[in-house]
Chains A and B, each alone.
Chain A
Amino acid sequence: DTEVTQTPKHLVMGMTNKKSLKCEQHMGHRAMYWYKQKAKKPPELMFVYSYEKLSINESVPSRFSPECPNSSLLNLHLHALQPEDSALYLCASSQVGRVIGNTIYFGEGSWLTVV
Chain B
Amino acid sequence: AQTVTQSQPEMSVQEAETVTLSCTYDTSESDYYLFWYKQPPSRQMILVIRQEAYKQQNATENRFSVNFQKAAKSFSLKISDSQLGDAAMYFCAYRSAEETSGSRLTFGEGTQLTVNP
Q: A108-B42, A109-B44 are in contact. Are A101 and B108 (CB under 8 A)?
A: no
* Interface size of A as a range: 20 to 34
- Check B97–A42 contact: CB distance below 8 A: no
Q: For B108, what are the chain A residues with a Cβ–Cβ distance below 8 Å?
A: 42
Contact A48 B103, CB 8 Å, known A42-B108, A98-B97? yes
Chain B residues with CB under 8 Å of A55's CB are 103
- Bound-complex Cα distance A37 to B89 (A): 13
What CA separation (Å) do A2 and B52 show in the bound complex?
23
B43–A109 CB distance below 8 A? yes
Q: Which of B35, B37, B44, B103 has the most CB of A within 10 A?
A: B103
A binding-site residues for B, Cβ under 8 Å: 2, 31, 33, 37, 40-43, 45, 48, 50, 55-56, 88, 90, 92, 96-98, 101-109, 111
